[in-house]
Amino acid sequence: MNPLLYKYETPFETVPFDQIKSEHFLPALQEAIKKGKEEIDEIKNNPEKPTFSNVCEAMEHAGELVGKVASVFYNLHSAESNDDLQKIAKEFSPLITEYSNDIQLDEKLFERIKEVYEQRNSLNLNTEEMRLLEKQYKGFARNGALLNEEQKEELRAIDRELSELGLHFGDNVLKETNDFLMLLDSEEDLKGLPESAIEAAKHLAEEKDEAGKYAVNLDYPSFVPFMTYAENRELREKLYRAFSSKAFKGNEYDNQEIVKKIATLRHRRANLLGYATHADFVLEERMAEKPQKVIEFLDNLLDKAKPIATKEMDELKTFAAEKGGPKAEEFMPWDYSFWAEKLKKEKFSFDAEELKPYFQLEKVVDGVFTVAKKLFGITFKERRDIPVYHQDVKAYEVSDEQGRHVGVFYADFFPRAGKRAGAWMTSYRDQHMVNGQDMRPHVSIVCNFTKPTPTKPSLLTFGEVTTLFHEFGHSLHGLLSKCTYESLAGTSVYWDFVELPSQVLENWAYEKECLDLFAEHYETGEKIPEHLIEKIKSTSNFHEGRQTIRQLSFGLLDMAWHGQDPKDIKDVGAFEKEAMAPCELLPTIDEANMSVSFGHIFRGGYSAGYYSYKWAEVLDADAFEAFKEKGIFDKETADKFRENILEKGGSEHPMDLYIAFRGQEPRPDALLKRAGLV
């Protein structure tokens, strides 16, 4: 029996990871697709007149088994991959793409949806029903339903190839990341690093069967401390060059031709559908609406941040030269983190390592759970009877104040060979209604935090603390959803709105009232001292100009790839340098390239959408002002945020939801003030 094809006999019908084997995925997908097609045939061949119920609602539930199988596969492919899954993905993804295209390009099915859509104003639909109808109609139109047969076939071919290229891109980055290991013979090579980082390097070497040595790799918990603290400039340079040249070496894992091909195919696809560029296609379904509006938004922030960032870099170069570091004209990218940390320490008497003993992972997790309880009245209880896909993963039951089941929450915190880099929230089941029954969500956050060592628990940097709050904010968006339709529930919102719940929650990590809930020294139990909290706040804007420029450079690079015809891009390195030139603050090196490992835009869902991080910062700064006005745990404000933002998903237009919460459209003033850009 294939466990993926049957009702899960587990607590809350959670995924039975302990029963699923690699060989189950393709047969399960093939069977699910067969069933999904039968469900579609029933809808399009229904002799009754098309109605919202027999077309739109039926469509919403068709293919649920395909979604169920695909969510398990793709989540494991990202968080617990192996050679088998990577091999399966090469067949799995084209099958999914072809199935989706078969539906989206089905003329008979589209005619029934179109008939309902054309009578929408006389159907007396509520807001969520109207959103579903519009989403389905636009989904078909935006996926080629209005094309002729020859164009539809071309679209199918493009989508199949894009699916395969995206997987190939991700596999290359993962292999390049895993293949690099910087082995060091002496602790002298790690001079300057905190004790915890030295111990982690020793532990990593032991894991690689290199006992007695030290190892540093390209995973963030290893890479970042070395770049920040290692006094050996040559080794910092070596590590930086390895990190910044992933998939850009001209070897079998090189992604240059892949990114050019992806951009070209996306542009051709947009043209086929009647859009000038891929960015025009994407932004039609975003709050920003048009590429020009995005460019104006980015340029406006660039104008404000560039003078401040330039001043910051001049000060840093002068400081480094005075302290025996490189001269200003010799200051390179691998010098930035090291000297910025020293300058911050001198200016604020601040050492980021001072904070780590107060941020033991388990206590920070308890802290975000407590924040959720104080704001939204929900509790988290670990359940060891819920299957997980790796021993590091923990599963929790989430309940409300009345003890009612809210959902299931998985937490996966540490890096390993089969997990891609970064941090993300995902789901195995989104909230939705079935025959009046509320099917509660199963969500997960996946991170790559500092691992425990034989002598120390996992102690987080403050950056990792804010990452945890960020991803947990996404999970609250999924967990607290109260929608009817799965395709509109939880995080199924416009991409430039989806970061609001995550980014707004980061603000709590800077507040004493919140830190006092969980920030205790892992050895003494002492609460984090007030002077360290003040340092967190006072240093939060340290080099904010440079950080803003960095984010803007990624947004501009994204728009360069997707806001024009990429046919003339011959040299990926030269193209990237030109696109990011307005944001350059330091010399660039020939072997460094961001594009070829920029998973957000070439594998994730952020193509022509990376600007949304900054866009959402405007929203989150403005939204947090509402909490600060009455207190960060004010129940009335939290209820308004929950009812108008977290519960509504994509059931209404995001601007309408935001105004319902805040009473006005978002203003950039709060962000500019918070960032020190005015």
Same domain, 131 and 36: yes
Q: What is the mean pLDDT of residues 616-627?
A: 93
Q: Are residues 215 and 131 in the same domain?
A: no
Segment 241-252 shows an average pLDDT of 97
In a domain, 542, yes or no: no
192 and 99 within one domain:
no
% of the chain exceeding 90 in pLDDT: 90
**Within-domain flag for 64:** yes
- Dist CA 266 CA 398 (whole Å): 40
Using a 10 angstrom Cβ sphere, with 0-12 exposed, 13-18 middle and 19 or more buried, the burial of residue 382 is exposed
User: Residue 453 corresponds to which tokens in the numbers above?
Assistant: 């060592």
**The predicted structure's pLDDT at residue 79:** 96
Q: Is residue 237 part of a domain?
A: yes
In a domain, 224, yes or no: yes
Say whether pLDDT at 678 is over 80. no
Query: 578 catalytic, yes or no?
Result: no
Residues 141 and 193 in one domain: no
What is the pLDDT, as a whole number, of residue 108?
95
Res 218: pLDDT: 96
pLDDT in tens, 251-260: 999 999 999 9
Instruction: Given the residues 312, 397, 471, 576, select the one marked as catalytic.
Output: 471
pLDDT of the residue at 26: 98
- Do residue 62 and residue 134 come from a single domain? yes
Please tell me the distance from the alpha carbon of residue 620 to that of residue 645, in angstroms, as a whole number.
Answer: 12
C-alpha 173/C-alpha 75 separation (Å) is 17
The predicted-structure confidence for 456-505, as pLDDT tens digits, reads as follows 999 999 999 999 999 999 999 999 999 999 999 999 999 889 999 999 99
Q: How confident is the model at residue 675 (pLDDT cuts 50, 70, 90)?
A: confident
Strands 405-412 and 442-446: parallel
Going by C-alpha positions, the residue among 20, 68, 641, 616 that lies closest to residue 371 is 641
Same domain, 137 and 199: no
| Within-domain flag for 579 | no
Q: How far is CA 117 from the centre of its chain?
A: 33
Average model confidence (pLDDT) across the chain: 95
Q: What is the CATH number of the domain that holds 417?
A: 1.10.1370.40
Q: Given this model, what pLDDT does residue 350 score?
A: 78
Any domain includes 623: no
What total number of domains does the chain contain? Answer: 3
pLDDT in tens, 383-411: 999 999 999 999 999 999 999 999 999 99
- Both 129 and 210 in one domain: the answer is no
Residue in the structure block whose two tokens are 């996404």: 474
pLDDT the model gives residue 231: 98
| Tens-place pLDDT, residues 61-96 | 999 999 999 999 999 999 999 999 999 999 999 999
pLDDT given at position 232:
98
Q: Which domain holds residue 96?
A: 3-104+106-146
Cα separation of 6 and 477, whole Å? 28
* 3-state DSSP helix/strand/coil % of the chain, to nearest 5: 60, 5, 35
pLDDT at residue 421 above 90?
A: no
Residues 6 or more apart whose Cβ sits within 8 Å of residue 568: none
Residue 138: inside a domain, yes or no?
A: yes
- Residue ending a domain, choose from 524, 543, 574: 524
Note whether 392 and 485 are same-domain residues: yes
Q: Tell whether 553 is covered by a domain.
A: no
Res 669: pLDDT:
84
What residues have CB less than 8 Å from 372, skipping those under 6 apart? 378, 380, 472, 476
CA-CA distance, 211 to 407, in Å (whole number)? 44
pLDDT range class, residue 433, cuts 50, 70, 90? very high
Phi-psi region of 75 (alpha: psi -120 to 50; beta: other; left: phi over 0): alpha
Q: How far apart are CA 560 and CA 260, in angstroms?
A: 12
Residues 507, 428 within the same domain: yes
Report residue 249 as tokens. Answer: 């070496």
Phi-psi label, residue 532: left if phi above 0, alpha if psi -120 to 50, beta otherwise? alpha
pLDDT in tens, 148-204: 999 999 999 999 999 999 999 999 999 999 999 999 999 999 999 999 899 999 999
Is 230 found in the same domain as 129?
Answer: no
Among residues 228, 244, 260, the one where a domain terminates is 244
pLDDT over 80 (residue 423): yes
Question: Which has the closest alpha carbon to 472: 381, 365, 623, 395?
Answer: 365
142 shares its domain with 186? no
- Cβ atoms within 10 Å of 179's Cβ, excluding its own: 13
**Helices 256-272 & 544-562 angle (0-180, nearest 10):** 60
Contact 596, 247 (CB under 8 A): yes
- The position carrying tokens 């492919």 is 77
Q: State the CATH number of the domain containing residue 125.
A: 1.20.1050.40
Q: Tell which of 524, 549, 577 closes a domain.
A: 524
Pair (366, 419) in one structural domain: yes
Q: Which residues of 492-510 are buried (b: 16+ CB within 10 A; e: fewer)?
A: bbbbbbbbbbbbbbbbbbb
Within 8 A by CB and 6+ apart from 59, the residues are: 40, 43, 109, 113, 136
pLDDT at 673: 85
Nearby residues of 122 by Cβ (< 8 Å), 6 or more positions away: none
